[in-house]
Amino acid sequence: MTPLAARTVQELDGRVSVPTYDRSRVRAGIVHLGVGGFHRSHQAAYLDGLMQQGKALDWGICGVGVLPADRRMAEVMAAQDCLYTLLVRHPDGSADARVIGSLVEYLFAPDDPDAVVERMASPEIRVVTLTVTEGGYNASAVTGEFDGADPGVVHDLQPGAALRTSFGLVVEALVRRRERGLPPFTVVSCDNIPGNGQLARGSFAAFARLRDPELGEWVEREVPFPDSMVDRITPVTTDADRADLAGRFGVEDRWPVVCEPWTQWVQEDSFACGRPPLEDVGVQLVDDVAPYELMKLRLLNAGHQVLAQPGRVAGLRYVHEACADPLFRRLLQGYLDEEATPTLRPVPGIDLDRYKATLLERFASPAIADTLDRIRAEASDRIPQFLLPVLRDNLHAGGEIRRSVAVLAAWARSAGGVDEEGRPLQLVDARAERLAAAAGDADPLAFVADREIFGDLVDDERFTEAYRSTWASMRRDGVRVTLEALA
């Protein structure tokens, strides 16, 4: 067994791909906030691919942990010289192991926020990227308004505060660059949100405006926030994954990343201070990301919810189990074809029927072992971004809504805390207490009456009639009987 570190990387099993470039020559040009599994399976892997071609050595990544929970990642990055293993699992059970070397620094903001600010303020940093989750932009999914009363925001607006939020860190770095005569860096959101660049612009400018109205206007006007669409299924790393890597390849890695072979990145080509040659590793550089973004959010991300919410209530645990179940596969196929696809506009270069067929194959792969609980987590941030826009568009157009309504009814059922057999279901959500209380209310509409999540849906008679009926059927007859009726 070989512990992963810079001094041991050349001693690894020959089947493990390792950096062929000189990492001592790599300099950070990107700061990334929120170094989790997805960033390490996606953006960092693309940059590593460029470096393997002898390119972009001045575009290394300085990772930043913003939350106290990121301390463990900081410890792993320090122990492994920022190296980690990407374990790509194929549907046939085979796997590829690749050590990624594009992350060259890691800073833990709770210990030294000023060091993070100074790193972003340094002239060599030209891009700041973000994977801070759908809820990390502190904006209402219904109104888009920034929550200036959030405790972290209030704290960071105090003069001399030890900054805690991504807003405080990024805006202070922009202020220092401006004071020093440096151009602003480009901020790239890589989170699953419609118009993620514009949402990021709105949130960071709103924070800056609370600090100083003129500063807010400058951020809005001068800092680029290009849109992006990013895609690669990356489940949470488990001890079984660590053991699998060790058993197959002899690598002892404290925090490897497991992912599927599929990967896609569509990026709006709008950068202030240059960018790496991303097109050389397959990134699609476009003028308008929106068609690709809506395709992915409304098919893949919403499709995940279609399987996860009713599937978990019915006692299923994994995405591939739900996709292999004929009833749930029909539910998903019907949603994709009859509800989501009619709300999409043409996507340049994409055959939607082929994309959906590939999506079903990806979901059905048992090699990934992605859990329905991972998909269900933080649904109050995800469903308003992924599924509710489809439902609203179909209500407006007189289109099909039954499957989307069934997903919401199943969400209300699962928020009650038990599946149909009475087994406990954990509700991982920032709004868990509110959701659970609403789910336990005798009024069928109590759950969807939360306007912070659902907006004015409860005022739509067609929606409420369908929801009442489905809600009652799930409690009376169970999920499977209810879904059979939809088919």
Domain containing 200 — which CATH number? Answer: 3.40.50.720
Name the domain count of the chain.
2
CA dist., res. 167 & res. 190, Å (int): 16
The tokens describing 351, both together, are 């055959």
Shared domain for 82 and 141, answered yes or no, is yes
> Is 461 exposed, middle or buried (CB count within 10 Å of its CB: 0-12, 13-18, 19+)?
exposed
Output the pLDDT for position 460: 98
Q: Please report, for the domain that includes residue 354, its CATH number.
A: 1.10.1040.10
Same domain, 97 and 228: yes
Q: Which helix (H) or strand (E) holds 303?
A: helix 302-313
* Residues 247 and 369 both lie in one domain: no
Say yes or no: 243 and 328 in one domain. no
Tokens 């959906």 -> residue: 356
Last residue of a domain, one of 233, 255, 286: 286
Query: Which mean pLDDT values do the consecutive 10-residue runs of the chain (487 residues) have?
Result: 96 97 98 98 98 98 98 98 98 97 98 98 98 94 91 97 98 98 98 96 98 98 98 97 98 98 98 97 97 98 98 98 98 98 96 98 96 97 97 98 98 95 94 96 96 96 98 96 91
The pLDDT of residue 30 is: 98
- Strand 186-189: give its sheet, edge to edge: 103-108, 60-65, 28-33, 127-130, 186-189
Residues 385 and 445 grouped into a single domain: yes
Report the greatest alpha carbon distance in the chain: 67
Same domain, 278 and 159: yes
**141 and 169 share a domain?**
yes
* Statement to judge: residues 87 and 17 lie in one domain: yes
Residue 294's nearest CA partner among 272, 318, 269, 266 is 266
Return the pLDDT at 142. 84
* Domain match, 108 and 156 both: yes
- The verdict on 373 and 249 lying in the same domain is no
Residues 257 and 312 in one domain: no
pLDDT confidence of residue 486: 86
Q: Which of 242, 264, 286 is the last residue of a domain?
A: 286
Q: Is residue 195 within 8 Å of residue 228, measured between CB atoms?
A: no
Asked whether residue 298 falls in the same domain as residue 443, the answer is yes
Q: Which of 227, 254, 286 is the last residue of a domain?
A: 286
Rounded distance, CA 161 to CA 171, Å? Answer: 13
Domain that holds residue 48: 2-286
- Report the pLDDT value the prediction gives residue 487, as an integer from 0 to 100: 74
Global model pTM greater than 0.85: yes
DSSP assigned state of 425: -
